[in-house]
Amino acid sequence: GQNIDQPTEMTATEGAIVQINCTYQTSGFNGLFWYQQHAGEAPTFLSYNVLDGLEEKGRFSSFLSRSKGYSYLLLKELQMKDSASYLCAVSVGGGADGLTFGKGTHLIIQP
């Protein structure tokens, strides 16, 4: 089976930095995605990593280590609107396959 683990909940302070970790054990690997999901809404795409290393996009960065089955999402200069669930997902079979999602990390931003 597929296994994707991430913390259930995290709390951080406005203006600070937070790192959300994700570990995965899957039968295949064709890339790792991070999505943001506000309550009652569909996920929105944040990042995609298929090679080892860090991908930076504005306040958000994502890191991947395939040998360790590990990724993290780094959020800088936190804003109140960043309060949401962050979903780690793996493409197991390739581009035409559905994604396998972790249970998501609920991030709470405090003033």
Partner 1 sequence: GAVVSQHPSWVICKSGTSVKIECRSLDFQATTMFWYRQFPKQSLMLMATSNEGSKATYEQGVEKDKFLINHASLTLSTLTVTSAHPEDSSFYICSAISGREYEQFFGPGTRLTVL
Contact residues toward partner 1 (CB under 8 A) are: 30-31, 33, 35, 40-45, 48, 50, 87, 89, 91, 95-104
Nearest residue to 76 (alpha-carbon basis) of 17, 25, 34, 6: 17
Cα 30 from chain centroid (whole Å): 15
Shortest reach from residue 13's CB to partner 1, in Å: 24
CB 45 within 8 A of CB 35: yes
Provide the token pair at 46: 């944040």
CB 104 within 8 A of CB 22: no
Q: Which is nearer to partner 1, 17 or 108 (CB)?
A: 108
Shortest reach from residue 67's CB to partner 1, in Å: 21
Give the C-alpha separation, 93 to 7, whole Å.
Answer: 25
Q: Which is nearer to partner 1, 14 or 97 (CB)?
A: 97
Q: Which is nearer to partner 1, 58 or 111 (CB)?
A: 58
Shortest reach from residue 16's CB to partner 1, in Å: 25
